[in-house]
Chains A and B, each alone.
Chain A
């Protein structure tokens, strides 16, 4: 920690960075596969960073709360556990309240900067449906990753947050792709 050299920092970080960016090129390829739809409807393009970012944030907030409960010994891996169920419910509630506002915001930004291309209810429906699905997926990924860390004797703080954040990034693009195919 105390001997910071460019070489030692690079040796610790670069392999992780290269692995994660390979994973992110996967989500880029999904994004590229519906590029023509995104270019035809800029309000969907506006939704891309915020959907990916919020999905990752929902996952990382849940992961860090579950890690803390786990360290405090107040967490049990059972559906009847109030700590687990309450945090899962909060994640879904956050998505259901934030994503409609995000959809309306994306529509408004597009309307102001380049004119409307899709109806407001369509953009809100895309954001809300994606958000609800992503919240459910974020809960599953986080609980599985935290449980796996616990079973393998790893500290969930070290492993779970980076894994969950980057997996939720990729899922964010895939879910947006599927929802756009169905709704637009």
Chain B
């Protein structure tokens, strides 16, 4: 292939997926742009945002990849059942890892801002926000990932190629929307 062919095919293969995820990113940005009151009310919250969003992506991307691999191997059935302990354990691990990592990120942010003598909310406030946001966005992302992977597989799609786009487009949006809700639950404000 010539340089021009390689460039054109690489561009064409990627452009639609990137455009869809950019639209998702802009919607998430609209939520972030609308949460200036919360960012002012909780000093240090903005410092936590990249870590919380990356954790959602890493944890639920991995849950989706794990379910996709298990479907391919015939270890699980593509329908949700409370009897399938394997799937339930994978979900429990994702939720607990997500919440633990969020609590850890809140602690690191608190320590870093205290050392830098920057304004920061109290550690229990940051912990409560990180935990509530972690549980709520985790529940929403679990439903999104499990249903897209199972439904996609039943309709003959490769679940491996569905996981990335669904997590990147819904992860930031759910992550930020439930962060706003968590701040309002913890420090007060209109729900």
Contacts and interface: CB of A to CB of B under 8 A. Distances in A.
Q: How large is the interface on A (under 10, 10 to 19, 20 to 34, 35 or more residues)?
A: 35 or more
Interface of B: 1-8, 10-11, 14-15, 17-19, 21-26, 28-30, 32-34, 36, 39-40, 44, 46-51, 53-55, 58-59, 62, 66, 69-70, 73, 75, 86, 89-90, 92-94, 96-97, 100-101, 104-105, 108-109, 112-113, 116, 118, 168, 172, 176
Contacts of B96: 6, 10
A6 B88 CA distance: 9
Given A1-B69, A21-B54, A28-B109, A42 B101 contact: no
Contacts, number: 207
Given A21-B51, A28-B47, A86-B3, A14 B100 contact: yes
Contacts of A45: 29, 32-33, 36
Given A49-B25, A97-B15, 20 more contacts: A4-B90, A9-B89, A9-B94, A17-B97, A20-B58, A25-B112, A29-B47, A29-B112, A32-B47, A35-B39, A42-B34, A53-B21, A61-B14, A83-B6, A87-B7, A87-B10, A89-B3, A98-B15, A105-B22, A109-B33
Interface in A60-89: 61, 65, 82-83, 85-87, 89
B105 A25 contact: yes
A166 interface: yes
The B interface, classified by DSSP as helix, strand, loop or mixed, is helix
B113 to A, nearest CB: 7
A59 to B, nearest CB: 11
A165 to B, nearest CB: 8
A31 B40 CA distance: 14
